[in-house]
Copies of this chain bind each other. A is one copy, B any other.
Amino acid sequence: MEKEHAFTMEQVGDIERELRYISSIVKQKGREILADFPITPPQFVALQWLNEDGDMTIGELSNKMYLACSTTTDLIDRMEANELVERVRDTSDRRVVRIHLMSKGKSIIEEVLEARRHYLAEVLTHFSEQDVTDLARTLQILHNEMKRDQS
């Protein structure tokens, strides 16, 4: 019989379960961290995308957040009122409006990400050098393959 895959179904089951558990802990830890900051979980996700990918339209942000445009619009309205972001008109095409991260939003998202890295550094304390390298490498591959699956 031809070998079809480089993995067993037992490995797939293990990886599915570990990802489910890890996501749940990361989500809870993320909530605990956000409790010290004046932003909500969806605001964190929006700030994260604006910080990493730069200015974008409501439509582009909605795609990244898997939200309806109307939901994203409401979210951005509240964030604009709190001076976390601002709407900026494209100078060459005045019909296009993009969301821009303001300095208050930038400083909050960077502090939140720093707190998340601090937590992760604690968790990685007992890892060997090889395990850290393997984890970083295989997560990168997993993420790329998940993106490929989406497109």
Contact = CB atoms under 8 A, between A and B. Distances in A.
Interface in A85-117: 113, 116-117
A74 interface: no
B27 A132 contact: no
Interface string A71-90: 00000000000000000000
B22 A136 contact: no
Interface residues of A, number: 59
Classify the secondary structure of A's interface with B. Answer: helix
Nearest to A135: B138
A118 to B, nearest CB: 9
Contact of A22 (B17, B52, B124, B139): B139
